[in-house]
C-alpha cells in the first residue's frame, strides 16, 4: 500500500468507535453507496460525468454531481477541466482516493457474492427490500 503523507500518524491515533474521532467522517463518506460506486468506476482511470452517469444505474445527475463534489472536497477525487469549447471535464482518483482501490474492490465483490442472500433473508424475515437506486 502506498504511503500518504500524514497517514501513519492519523491511523495510529484513530478510533472509529469514538464519536469525536475524525476517522468517523472518512468512514461516513466511504460508506455511502454512491461514493463506493463512483470510486469503483474511477479505479481504471479518468472518466467524464456522462460516462459515470451511464455506468452507475439509478444515480441521478444531481446525485452524481453531489457525490463527485463531496469526494473532491475530501481529497479523494480530482477534477480536470480541459480548455476546449465546449469545456471537457474529467474526474479521477487522487493519490489518497487510489488508496481505496482494495477496500472498494472487496466491498463490491462481497456485494456481488452475497447480495441475493441478503435479499432472500430480508424477504424471509418480513423486511421490505430496499430499492437499489
Task: Note whether residue 5 is domain-resident.
Answer: no
Domain with residue 117: its CATH number is: 1.10.10.10
Q: What is the pTM of this model?
A: 0.79
Task: Note whether residue 67 is domain-resident.
Answer: yes
Q: Name the pairing type of β-strands 47-48 and 88-93.
A: antiparallel
Q: For 108-121, what is each residue's pLDDT tens digit? A: 999 999 999 999 99
* Cross-strand pairs, 93: 77
Task: Note whether residue 89 is domain-resident.
Answer: yes
φ, ψ (nearest 5 deg) of residue 108: -70, -35
Domain count, the chain: 1
- Nearest residue to 45 (alpha-carbon basis) of 92, 78, 90: 92
Distance CA 44, CA 61 (A): 21
Q: Which residue range is the domain that position 96 belongs to? A: 22-124
- Nearest residue to 42 (alpha-carbon basis) of 84, 105, 87, 88: 105
Half-sphere exposure for 8 (CA within 13 Å, toward CB): 4
Helices assigned H by DSSP within the chain: 7-13, 23-30, 33-42, 49-55, 61-73, 95-98, 101-124
Q: For 41-98, what is each residue's pLDDT tens digit? A: 999 999 999 999 999 999 999 999 999 999 999 999 999 999 999 889 999 999 999 9
Q: For 8-54, what is each residue's pLDDT tens digit? A: 444 457 888 988 898 988 999 988 999 999 999 999 999 999 999 99
Other beta carbons within 10 angstroms of residue 94's beta carbon come to 18
Distance CA 81, CA 119 (A): 41
Residue owning grid cell 500500500: 1
Amino acid at each position: 500500500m502506498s504511503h500518504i503523507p500524514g497517514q501513519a500518524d492519523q491511523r495510529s491515533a484513530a478510533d472509529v468507535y469514538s464519536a469525536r474521532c475524525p476517522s468517523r467522517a472518512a468512514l461516513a463518506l466511504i460508506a455511502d453507496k454512491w461514493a463506493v460506486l463512483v470510486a469503483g468506476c474511477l479505479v481504471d482511470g479518468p472518466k467524464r460525468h456522462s460516462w459515470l452517469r451511464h455506468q452507475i444505474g439509478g444515480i441521478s445527475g444531481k446525485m452524481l454531481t453531489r457525490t463527485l463534489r463531496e469526494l473532491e472536497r475530501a481529497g479523494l477525487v480530482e477534477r480536470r477541466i480541459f480548455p476546449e469549447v465546449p469545456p471537457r471535464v474529467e474526474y479521477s482518483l487522487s493519490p489518497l482516493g487510489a488508496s481505496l482501490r482494495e477496500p472498494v474492490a472487496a466491498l463490491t465483490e462481497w456485494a456481488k457474492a452475497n447480495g441475493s442472500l441478503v435479499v432472500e433473508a430480508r424477504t424471509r424475515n418480513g423486511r421490505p427490500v430496499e430499492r437499489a437506486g
